[in-house]
A and B are shown apart, each in its own frame.
Chain A
């Protein structure tokens, strides 16, 4: 079982809709959760991070964390074509051995 799992997609949504991206993780000791966006051929860039159960909002983005169910999600409201990218979920394990373990990413396509 992979430590961090994401559906590879593509997830296709129309412009203006809400895109929902999901991620599950296997280690119950995980402490910190990150969402990165990666455009094709570019480096990942941080969207937001979340540490506590519940929702965290930043502009059009909302991260949701449920530690009991071991999932974290990212909602993108009012999706724009410029949001079309691969979204990487990353989890920090509690071992201190390494910073982040990444999922393989979900490709999002926002249709104009």
Chain B
């Protein structure tokens, strides 16, 4: 089954304790992205990657890191989490190009993170 898999789905942690949220896709998509979703603010992009070893900042990158060493994986790293990073996080992937149907994002199930 074609899918984007995120782990963990739920996490409660404390301020300053480094954590990684993993994301993996099995569709051979070039493009991967992380979003956070907060009430009233919608989905905001954190980081994205156009392909292996190519990453760039989205709208809200502060406090986050990413890496893309393999095409299928795109982990999100919070080096020193703070309470304002409490949110619902989505990883998404898509093929990339100018053809019809490109850029259609497939989302993971989401990771709900609470930082105390």
On A, residues with C-beta under 8 Å from B are 8, 32, 34, 41-46, 49, 51, 88, 90, 92, 97-105
Contact = CB atoms under 8 A, between A and B. Distances in A.
B103 A104 contact: no
B81 interface: no
Interface of B: 31, 33, 35, 40-45, 48, 56, 58, 90, 92, 94, 96, 100-101, 103-110
Contact of B42 (A42, A49, A92, A102): A102
B41 A99 contact: no
Contact of A99 (B33, B40, B90, B108): B33
A43 B107 contact: yes
A45 B48 CA distance: 19
- Most interface-central of B100, B101, B103, B108 (chain A CB within 10 A): B103
